[in-house]
């Protein structure tokens, strides 16, 4: 078997998309008389600075001869890759290997590429150690992602599907013509096997991208028939080609267990802690709160950014003392919250005591001197503890589909360790 890994052919301004190259290359392989067994769309560490958008790398599993595969990949890549963009640095890696049986260090490279920041030198030396064919253009940094895509089938353990429909290439850059009503209807009929197709509260068809590039829409879900069935129901401008990818989208594959006080930039974590101070909405509508670790005084700033929309109301509903598990990427020391679980809610508050004799509200008797009733002189040693209503429940809360990172797992997919409050 031959595994072809591809990455970094696209440009933020000029469009293109490595998935499109993979779809075209798969067709070229089939025209050459070979079979393409799988198309993988692998989302790597979303914290990577060089990424164009979603840090995607692609792999094709085929019975085409490995020698021919590199030439064919280069022939398809060269006219499409946006190498005039200084940020675009394409790479191709071709391995003559069974995708299930790649060597352990290559599988581990894939797992690490989802969770860490890696160097091109390490990718090159692994590629050479294992005798894989490779080519890079404009520096060829894409070989990091391409090698990760080669190792992904063995290195990653959970797979979902995305069916991508592509526009006619000459229409790229013009507004997309997709009938939103047909998208919302199909999404409702196939939820939750297909997820993140729309954001109902925002009224947004999130499966239709805004960025330039050839993707018309991408339907994500748990099985290939369903994602294709949703796509079949969507009315739109002509579709030039389509492809169904196996992906690690919607899996939370980027998250690792972490401890407050021991978090590193460029990684994404699941951390337990206690809300240290009341959430605060700052300029731009971003909501911040401090999370103190368990058994430590260390804290980490957590933020729900403005684009997370209604999720910020869930964050604003937190109070100091609530026990949480928080998930998200750490950047410049701040954890960007993707989801959190309420483990326990602080349901008490301290208020000015009421006089037991005459029922009036007491007043402070001075610093550290408790309270006194102005009318009857009765005193109380300190504030009164009262039970309060909370606008949150125990369980998991998440950002809405319009703010979901590709790799983040929607709560509706299940497998969480507490009740879930899914957004749709
Ligand atoms: P799009 O979403 O539009 O397909 P992209 O977001 O996938 O674009 P790329 O243009 O592929 O972005 O850029 C990502 C670059 O980062 C590639 O060169 C890839 O090799 C590299 N890369 C991927 N994962 C890592 C990692 N874990 N550490 C370091 N570099 C990485």
Question: Domains of the chain by range and CATH?
Answer: 2-155 (3.30.70.2200), 160-247 (3.90.600.20), 255-347+389-421 (2.40.50.1010), 348-387 (no CATH)
Least-confidence region, from 108-112, 203-207, 244-248, 364-368? 364-368
Best of 23, 46, 55 for a ligand 1 pocket test (most atoms within 8 Å of beta carbon): 55
| Residue 52 pLDDT > 90 | no
**Sheet arrangement for strand 379-380:** 363-364, 371-372, 379-380
pLDDT of residue 297: 93
| Residue 84 pLDDT > 80 | no
- Taking the alpha carbons at both ends of the chain, their separation in whole angstroms is 40
Distance 318 CA to ligand 1 centre (A): 35
| Residue 158 pLDDT > 90 | yes
Distance CA 51, CA 55 (A): 5
pLDDT of residue 15: 64
What's the DSSP call for residue 297?
S
Section 9-32 average pLDDT: 87
* Greater pLDDT, 151 or 85: 151
Q: Is this structure's pTM higher than 0.85?
A: yes
Contacts of 170 (CB under 8 A, 6+ apart): none
Q: Percent of the chain having pLDDT more than 90?
A: 88
Ligand 1, residues at Cβ distance < 6 Å: 7-8, 10, 17-18, 44-45, 48, 50-56, 89, 113, 116-118, 141-142, 144-145
Distance CA 244, CA 39 (A): 7
pLDDT of residue 13: 64
Of ligand 1's listed atoms, the one at least distance from the Cα of 117 is: 28
Q: How far is CA 8 from CA 263, 266, 378, in A?
A: 28, 19, 75
| Residue 209 pLDDT > 70 | yes
Distance 89 CA to ligand 1 centre (A): 9
Query: Using CA positions, which residue lies closest to atom 11 of ligand 1?
Result: 8
pLDDT of residue 14: 62
Instruction: Tokens for 222, please give them.
Output: 């748990």
Q: How far is CA 34 from CA 65, 74, 102, 134, 152, in A?
A: 9, 17, 21, 21, 22
Distance 350 CA to ligand 1 centre (A): 51
Distance CA 234, CA 227 (A): 11
| Residue 95 pLDDT > 80 | yes
In the predicted model, what is the mean pLDDT of the chain?
95
Distance 122 CA to ligand 1 centre (A): 15
Contacts of 398 (CB under 8 A, 6+ apart): 311, 338, 339, 404, 408, 410, 411, 421, 422, 423
Listed residue (58, 55, 60) closest to 118, CA to CA: 55
Distance 165 CA to ligand 1 centre (A): 22
Least-confidence region, from 47-51, 103-107, 277-281, 398-402? 47-51
Distance 356 CA to ligand 1 centre (A): 67
pLDDT of residue 61: 98
Section 77-81 average pLDDT: 88
Q: Answer whether the bond into residue 192 is a cis peptide, omega within 30°.
A: yes
pLDDT digits (tens, 9 = 90+) for 330-388: 999 999 999 999 999 999 988 999 998 888 999 999 988 999 998 888 999 999 999 99
């Amino acid at each position: 078997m031959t595994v072809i890994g591809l990455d970094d052919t696209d440009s933020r301004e000029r469009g293109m998309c490595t998935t499109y190259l993979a779809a075209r290359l798969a067709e070229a392989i089939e025209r050459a008389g070979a079979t393409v067994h799988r198309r993988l769309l692998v989302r790597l560490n979303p914290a990577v600075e060089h990424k164009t958008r979603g840090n995607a790398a692609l792999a094709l599993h085929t019975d085409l001869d490995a020698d021919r595969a590199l030439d064919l990949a280069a022939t398809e890549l060269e006219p499409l890759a946006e190498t005039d963009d200084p940020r675009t640095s394409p790479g191709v890696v071709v391995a003559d290997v069974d995708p299930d049986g790649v060597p352990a260090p290559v599988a581990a490279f894939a797992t690490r590429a989802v969770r860490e920041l890696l160097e091109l030198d390490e990718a090159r030396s692994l590629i050479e150690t294992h005798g894989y064919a490779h080519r890079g253009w404009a520096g060829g940094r894409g070989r990091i992602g391409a090698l990760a895509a080669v190792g992904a089938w063995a290195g990653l353990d959970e797979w979902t599907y995305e069916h991508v429909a592509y526009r006619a290439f000459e229409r790229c850059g013009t507004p997309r013509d997709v009938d939103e009503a047909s998208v919302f209807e199909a999404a409702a009929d196939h939820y939750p096997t297909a997820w993140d197709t729309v954001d109902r509260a925002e009224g947004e068809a999130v499966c239709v991208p805004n960025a330039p590039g050839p993707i018309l829409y991408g339907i994500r879900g748990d099985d290939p028939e369903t994602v294709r069935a949703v796509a079949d129901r969507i009315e739109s401008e002509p579709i030039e080609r389509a492809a169904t990818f196996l992906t690690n989208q919607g899996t939370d594959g980027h998250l690792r267990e972490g401890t407050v006080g021991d978090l590193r930039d460029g990684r994404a974590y699941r951390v337990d802690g206690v809300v240290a101070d009341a959430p605060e909405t700052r300029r731009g509508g971003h909501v911040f709160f401090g999370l103190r670790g368990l058994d430590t005084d260390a804290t980490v700033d957590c933020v729900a950014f403005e684009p997370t929309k209604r999720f910020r109301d869930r964050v604003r509903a937190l109070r100091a003392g609530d026990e949480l598990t928080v998930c998200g990427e750490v950047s410049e020391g701040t954890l960007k919250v993707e989801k959190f679980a309420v483990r326990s809610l602080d349901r008490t508050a301290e208020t000015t005591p009421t006089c037991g004799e005459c029922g009036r509200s007491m007043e402070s008797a001075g610093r550290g001197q408790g309270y006194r009733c102005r009318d009857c002189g009765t005193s109380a040693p300190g504030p009164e503890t009262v039970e309060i209503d909370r606008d949150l429940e125990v369980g998991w809360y998440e950002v809405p589909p319009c703010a979901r990172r590709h790799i983040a797992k929607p709560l509706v997919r299940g497998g969480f360790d507490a009740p879930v409050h899914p957004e749709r």
